[in-house]
A and B are shown apart, each in its own frame.
Chain A
Amino acid sequence: MEILRYFSLIIASFFIFSLVGIMSGWLDRKITARLQWRVGPPWWQNFADFVKLVGKETVIPYEANQAMFLLSPIIGIIAVTVTGALLLSSIFFNPVKWDLFIFIYLLLIPSVVIFLAGSSSGNVLASVGAGRELRLLLSYELPFIIALLVPVIKSGSVQIYKIADYQITNGVNIGYISGFIAFVVALLAFQGKLGYVPFDVSEAETEIAAGTFIEYSGFPLALLKLMKWILLSVGISFFVIYFMGGFRNPLTGILKYLAVLILIILIKNTNPRLRTDQILKFSWGWLTMFGMLAVLFALLGY
């Protein structure tokens, strides 16, 4: 009966995180619209978009590697859903045993999927986007890893539940100087993982016409969009658990979630798109330097 628990956990994770993700995506659109003096879409707009895409015909380019082209989106959905299931697992399994490393490596899969999606479609603009996605991955991965190590140094464990417990007795990580710097660095790196402005080089609608997603339509496109939404909600939930003390009190938990989400949306709306070499310089220069500073502070106990 163990297997049923796994299945139910995954299904629960899929529904919870896709609902939250779709609503977060709507909030993103709404706030963006308000910032640009538009009215913005109604709350059900993303559901409508998703349902419409599911019903459409799927067009596959002749040059594409069909199997890869059709498989990539579902692999991405599975990877982000499983990552979300890990976050939820404390409800079903006790004590929860999973650690930072598997989280970081699971979060590589969405980037790989976006790359494979672009690469397998056999379109030149998709190839450009795929190459950019890889350079983006290289850039943000280094500061992301360094920043996520800070709570590990503070609590002395890589187990997520121990890091969460540590914050009950010693105060939230973001309350420390090191934790705060690490949070900012990790959030900016995560912005790159999401592919949001200023790091939206691999999609860049105005430049390479959605790049990696250029050939996608219908159901696979819907899945790719859903993958990004789930990634958004899973990532923010992780940040809340990892840096801000988690969802023990549901009300403050939701407020923390909204705060991080709005921060991401504001960064997205107040910056222009960077070139990949600028991203590389920014990530391996400033972000990494601040990440190391955070590690130093953590070692000193601040």
Chain B
Amino acid sequence: MEIIYYLIGLPVIAGLLCFLLSDRARILIWGIAFDVCLVLFGAISILFVKKPTLSEGMFMWDNLTNLTLLGTAFFGLIVCIYSYKMIDRLLGRYYGCFLLTIGAAIGVALSNNLILMSVFWGILAITLYLMINLGGPEAAYPAKKTLIIVGGSDSFLILGIAILWALTGSLNISEIKVEIDRWLAAAAFLSLVSASFAKAGAMPFHTWIPEISEKAPVSVMAFLPASLDKLLGIYLLARICLNLFNYHETMWFLLSLMGAITIVGAVFLALVQHNMKKLLAYHAVSQVGYMVIGIASGNPIGIAGGLFHMVNHAIYKCCLFLGAGSVEKQAGTTDLDNLGGLGRSMPLTFIGFLFASFAISGIPPFNGFFSKWMIYQGLVESGKTGDQSWILWIVMAMIGSGLTLASFMKIIHATFLGSFSENLKSKDIRESHPIMLISMVLLAVLCLVFGIFFIRIPLLKLIIPVVPDVSLDSIFNLPLPIYLLLSGFALGLLLYYTIFFPQKRRIITSFIGGEKQSSEMTISGTDFYNQIKKAAFLNRIYFYSEKKYTDIYDFLKSAVDYFTKGFMAAHTGVLGTYLTWVIFGMLIFLYIYIKW
């Protein structure tokens, strides 16, 4: 399979080439990146149809790989097109890192050897660090934090791989299938799962995503945490749960628990955010929970739902971040307090954003509904074995979905609807550049297409090959409501426009209490959920999370600080003290040598 070397080598070489070019060669750099993305997408699409299979040596290629590769290439292309107008400085570094990321991602998806895979993960952590740093000097701290969490999770990965090697004597995914019957196997499972959680951004390793969201360039957010990291992180989780380990009740219960906590915890934090990008970032965390719950349900329809949700999430979250980027570009801010009424001046962005919001909230007939629906089916199915914990997971998942809807309606109100913000009156706000619109509208349309034709396109083409034992009978329940909804919309809108439009309409300025509405009388919508923040029991959770007690990075940092305090006292900077220590140490070594 020589093609594998081309697939990985092409973006890596092109990326290294981009590093050498200066900003003046703008078109050239973008052209290289775009062409490479296009070629990769074309090649992977052809390979996707051919379905090559390979599972020996360093590389493997099965249907799950196929799905991940197609996602990587597709989102690479979309974000590359969007970046043309979004990124205007440090182009060489941006596109260089961008292409290296794609190359490394393809490597992760293709590697069969676990060591090779961890090397590619390492490259991904470094390129992620470099790309976040493009946000300017303010991005330095979040970038460092990300590198420590994501790069640090590689040590878990390597630990897990080492234990697996000790248990089975093999490093190839295709040869390993471990029963979790010993503590050692459980430790390997947990460390590998921690690594995949950190990379996908599930709790408790999620804190890097909200932290970088405000500082990193939006296209980086749309590409990495929103789509690519989810694809690859969940790819790793799926490999762990489906290939490397056999089903084990307690471990899978733990997975579901973490998934459910991730959904509800992150969505509560998202509700009260004042910045659009940070709110979206918390949702990028929250949605991982659905994928984890789906995969942890342990039956085919749940796993298929989890993977389907991964694909859907990448589509709508990428679209939402691109929308946030367009708003930032036009209005100069993503602070929800300073936005409002943009729906009239940016109608296409608004519609795209609205579609993606409906998709993420699970409103039928958008794609998010179907993947959630399949996950719920999987949970109900898992209850038939006698384990009743599914009730808790299903309630948490569904309320999480309701809270998601609420927080997205808040964004819609504060950004696109409501009254026009006073802060924006001085600016001439227009629809964003067509190139930025193309990628966004394409994704929004995809949300709808993947929803309406959910069996024919995404399930049969993408998901069913990966999880072949899904019984289509249970899925075929859905078409009736969906066809009803579609024909209802067709009929309703047709009648509405034929009956309503001829009627007379009048447009007037509105008034309240006999006075014209003035700019002091605006409700931006950012304070919709302050009561929830203040409600008993919840207020403590918000307090703790604001104090960063739940942040594993700060937690570890303070633990390290605590343990190293003694050593720090020893670092006085006085040469004499150091020399004393050195001589003392040498004496100890001398003693040991003499003794032996």
Contacts and interface: CB of A to CB of B under 8 A. Distances in A.
The 6 lowest CB-CB distance pairs between A and B, nearest first, are A127-B523, A61-B510, A141-B402, A119-B417, A78-B492, A124-B521
A122 B419 contact: yes
Given A68-B343, A102-B481, A127-B522, A62 B507 contact: yes
Nearest to B479: A97
A85 B417 contact: no
B335 to A, nearest CB: 18
A104 B372 CA distance: 12
B399 interface: yes
**Interface secondary structure of A, over-half rule:** helix
Contacts of B399: 141-142, 145
B510 A62 contact: yes
Interface of A: 2-3, 6-7, 9-11, 57-68, 70, 74-75, 77-79, 81-82, 85-86, 89, 93, 96-99, 101-102, 104-106, 108-109, 112, 115-116, 119-125, 127-128, 130-131, 134-135, 137-138, 141-142, 145-146, 149, 152-153, 156, 158-159, 215, 218-219, 276-277, 280-281, 284, 295, 299
Contact of A123 (B493, B504, B510): B510
A97 B493 contact: no
Given A78-B489, A82-B484, A109-B363, A57 B535 contact: no
Contact of B505 (A60, A68, A74, A284): A60
A101 B508 CA distance: 42
Contacts of B521: 124
Nearest to A298: B391
7 contacts: A59-B508, A81-B488, A112-B405, A121-B510, A124-B521, A135-B532, A138-B532
Given A60-B506, A60-B507, A10 B487 contact: yes
Contacts of A66: 507
Contacts of A104: 398
A99 B510 contact: no
Contacts of A128: 523
Interface string B470-501: 00000011101101110111011100100010
B282 interface: no
B94 interface: no
Given A135-B532, A284-B535, A215 B510 contact: yes
B531 A280 contact: yes
A6 B484 contact: yes
B405 A124 contact: no
A86 B484 contact: yes
Given A119-B413, A280-B535, A299-B388, 14 more contacts: A57-B505, A58-B503, A65-B344, A65-B417, A89-B480, A105-B373, A106-B364, A112-B405, A112-B409, A122-B418, A131-B527, A134-B529, A137-B402, A295-B391
Nearest to B344: A65
B125 interface: no
Interface residues of B, number: 72
Contact of A131 (B394, B528, B536): B528
A61 B523 contact: no
A106 B284 CA distance: 24
B373 A131 contact: no
A284 B410 CA distance: 21
B503 A218 contact: yes
Interface of B: 341, 343-344, 347, 361-364, 369, 372-373, 376-377, 380, 384, 388, 391, 394-395, 398-399, 402-403, 405-406, 409-410, 412-413, 416-420, 476-478, 480-481, 483-485, 487-489, 491-493, 496, 500, 503-510, 512, 517, 521-523, 525, 527-529, 531-532, 534-536
Contacts of A105: 362-364, 369, 373
Contact of B373 (A74, A102, A141): A102
A301 to B, nearest CB: 12
Nearest to A81: B488
Given A131-B523, A131-B528, A119 B412 contact: yes
